[in-house]
Chain A
């Protein structure tokens, strides 16, 4: 399934948030939340995106859907330039790309019944659709996500976190989208329901031929669900590889540090943990050159020179790394 048709093509995407200071709101700088990210997502695959809190994962996903306006770069969805879309073209495009949020307690309108929540996208995109048809399709997706029919008349606060996440998924599914962006969909859930929701997400992908961008800071979740994985650090993508390759043979020093932090449920196993010193630098003032060099155990002087900002390079087949020393480590 690898290297099929490209559904989503992101080139050099930048999303900077201006920093305003003082009474007259003068711009004094930018938070470079996403700074030059390029990636491709193929039809039918799950692209997992990992990285620590604040590295720009969610901003990247939201910028792709234009829920946040990107500052620069290009996003092509099925060949169409998303950033060039007018607001009505964008609305039409939204029918094909959906989002499922992290916090199921904040992502459902508490004043709407589940039925209204789920059928609202239909009201917007297919106005004038008869009542029976609406009800039939709501019932259909409810069944698909494993909820009872009588859920339709209840309000979100009457459900558990896992059930609410199923409601979110149902709402995302009702328009038969091609692409769904999952923004840490299980990190707010109890461990016991996590795998159920993950399995549901996987089954839906198979039965409906969906393409996913799946964000998580939990490596085991990403390992479970993804086909390919991208690793983000401070607004940049530092490594992209098929799941197996990435977990067995991480080439970027940051990825290696991440992998070594995965707990192994066996007290006898000794692992050499790579413990990073220092903190993540501020995205308002990232280090010159390679952004990771100030914390990297292998950094040389060359890594910090301003013109040495590493680009993603295909070191092995399908395995991209942004590190000038990656080949020699």
Chain B
């Protein structure tokens, strides 16, 4: 009787998933772009020794060129440095607030769908309540109560995002729980934690990955909108939103496209690549999908 070849199952599964992901062209483009963006915003400023805060006296609105490729802003600060640090802030807020949403939404939705009963009623009514508020207005109110800062904005956007995760995982858990293999797991005596870990979560999770990308992208946009309105990341700290804020001036909008084009393009690039990566992950994680 031959022995089964020694092979790490987990590695081979994810290797398989990665193989499929690599064949998804737009996802790979997204991955390359986001990698470049990450390098640009996290590594480049250190290499170039950029400084987004300090003003160069008497050089406000300096035109692009030479030492400052994107010129200086109205306060004499380096536009390129502010762009890169702003991108860093946006990505950081997007990822952290999505993490907050996941930490709240996934366990609640999972338990609501698996255990049902009063807990389900409670959680899903809460979801309804949260989703029936215009979230941007509520975020504005909460931020003005707590006071705008990078951390309060992250937390509040994160808290407002949990219903998306709760709902998507709840719906999937409901359908996965009805599958015969879950009954089969109970029939061999598997405990609830084991069933949730090995049966429910792996089979209900891939739509969550898509939601992660979607939420990260929209959290980045929400942060940008808040900062644009002056309720988000506060100057002198840079964020894509508060850089775009300067384009409120008509002169800047019409005469100085290098002020607002780069942050706008960077924002679109980040959001688009994250969404493409989400599509690729969804297809790659689906075992029935032949890419």
Seen from chain A, the residues whose Cβ lies within 8 Å of a Cβ on chain B are: 62, 65, 67, 90-92, 94-95, 98-99, 101-103, 106-113, 115-116, 120-121, 124-125, 132, 135-136, 138-140, 143, 149, 152-153, 155, 157, 168, 171, 175
Contact = CB atoms under 8 A, between A and B. Distances in A.
Interface residues on B, range: 20 to 34
Interface string B1-21: 111110101001100000000
A95 B187 CA distance: 9
B4 A143 contact: no
A102 B183 CA distance: 12
B189 A125 contact: yes
21 contacts: A62-B183, A65-B187, A67-B183, A67-B187, A95-B189, A99-B184, A101-B180, A101-B184, A106-B179, A107-B180, A107-B181, A108-B184, A109-B198, A111-B287, A115-B4, A120-B188, A124-B189, A124-B190, A125-B189, A135-B3, A140-B1
B57 interface: no
Given A106-B179, A135-B4, A155-B287, A94 B203 contact: no
A28 B86 CA distance: 61
Nearest to A181: B187
Contacts of B180: 101-103, 106-107
A107 B191 CA distance: 18
Interface of B: 1-5, 7, 9, 12-13, 179-181, 183-191, 194, 198-199, 202-203, 287-288
Contacts of A125: 188-189
Nearest to B182: A109
Contacts of B2: 139, 149
Contacts of B202: 109, 111
Q: Chain A binding site: helix, strand, loop or mixed by DSSP?
A: helix
A171 B179 contact: no
A67 B189 contact: no
A157 B289 CA distance: 11
A94 B9 CA distance: 27
A163 B17 CA distance: 24
Given A101-B180, A124-B188, 20 more contacts: A62-B183, A65-B187, A67-B183, A90-B189, A91-B191, A94-B188, A99-B183, A106-B181, A108-B181, A108-B184, A110-B288, A113-B9, A115-B4, A115-B9, A116-B9, A121-B188, A121-B189, A124-B194, A136-B3, A168-B184
Contacts of B7: 153
B188 A171 contact: yes
B4 A153 contact: yes
Nearest to A98: B187
B1 A109 contact: no
A109 B4 contact: no
Instruction: Report the 6 A-B pairs with minimum CB-CB distance, sorted nearest first.
Output: A94-B189, A91-B189, A111-B202, A107-B180, A121-B188, A106-B180
A43 B189 CA distance: 23
A267 B2 CA distance: 52
Nearest to B205: A111
Contacts of A62: 183
Given A135-B3, A149-B4, A94 B187 contact: yes
Nearest to B190: A124
Contacts of A111: 198, 202-203, 287
Nearest to A112: B198
B181 A109 contact: yes
Contacts of B13: 113
Contact of A120 (B1, B3, B179, B190): B190
Nearest to B202: A111
Nearest to A122: B188
A138 B1 CA distance: 11
